[in-house]
Structure 1
Amino acid sequence: MTTTIRPDADLDPVFSQMARATTAHCWAVPQLTDREKVFLCVVADVCQAGLGLPFEMHIRAGLDRGVSTGDIRALLRLVAYDSGYAAALMALERLAEIEAAAGLPGPTAEPLRGALLDIGPDAAPSPLPEPIRAQLRELDPHFTEHFELQSRMRSGSGPGTLTIRERAFATMSVDVHYQTLEETFQAHVDRALGGGASAEDVRAVLRFNAQFGVTKAWRAWKALNAHLAHRASAANGGGVARLP
């Protein structure tokens, strides 16, 4: 088990007790792997700008559990369009500092091919589901184009080491931190379920995220329970659209 706060009592002995008890309770959630838990901690650090001690502790906890800094880079590339590129860039800068201090290798991923970066007739097809694309078109064509670009760059054709389940859990967590609990949260939940996660696995994501803010988790629970109930009542419907 890892902790999200310094485990000793240097900063405040009572706070240290509270932090240990809280993280122990969340890390005991059995449905998530240690790798998934590390990813969710890093997502919280990015979204909450916790790039000092918490981020370093989570990176080191990941290394202890076989999660490489290359895996963390893939995670940061994934969440960049939800968290914002600036937030992800600050995390990458901090990660590079940790790698340098520990003598770890830097980026090794293969570059994206040009068609994934293009916009227009030479662009590769975007994996954005048509029902979601239709919703975006109602908002603005340029925003739709931007969304298609983001999805294309994160498709299976690009670099990355994350499973569908891991990607879905990470983006669900961004929704929890930013309280975007309508269309995108529903799409990310659907993506997790479509990628083989059970409803109980999806619930475990919120159970784990409670340590990063119980009021945010409370609102997310309301949204999740409502969406799962809707899915259950419409179980005979096919093809729920999912974000890539």
Structure 2
Amino acid sequence: MLRYRFYVVGCGGTGSLLARDLAKLLTSSPHTMTLIDGDVVEEKNIIRQGYQFQDIGENKAAVLSKKINALYNVDAYVIDSYLTKNELLVDINKNDDLYPVILGCVDNDNTRALLENTFKKCNGAVYIDSANGEYEGNIYIARIFNNKQIGTLRSDVYKLSNDHHPLDKSCQNQVADGNIQYLVTNTKMAIGILEHCNALLENQLKEGVQIVKRFKTVFYTQ
């Protein structure tokens, strides 16, 4: 049986909710998880993200991993910085006995491009990438098997924009924080990713695209 390492990249609205429930899915299993984010918890994050007031000022990935390790029988590791180059690939190669599952929960295409490049350099990997607005979103599921890509990446469908990386301070003003509808949509996205993770663990993962709209979801297999 493969041993997976699930990389939750981005611990904001979708990622923090996903990490909380992914830990439950992995508890008492041989699989592990790594949380990746360079951001810190702010008061405005409390409403729609998986944090509490006592977490304010703490690194999101670090404080979330502490909760997971304390509550569940699962190993949750941390990269408490933003991805800028090949940090994820270095960690994947360092843990080459674990099959990487990259879970993209970021809000910018610059980081998505980094994740796609990392995915393409893996001998075997799964990449599940989510993106959403206030009311709807989508999830792309792809896999590399025998050095061949199965499924579509986001950049295969449209050109990724050259938007701001999280390290660019002009990107830090997130109007979504505190928005209840975003909480609802982020929760739906997290559940969607979690369902694909569960399918992977049951050897039933299907590559494709899941469209999440208000009051409904549609999954297109590839």
* Higher percent of residues as strand: 2
Q: Structures share a fold, TM > 0.5?
A: no
* Higher percent of residues as helix: 1
Larger radius of gyration: 1
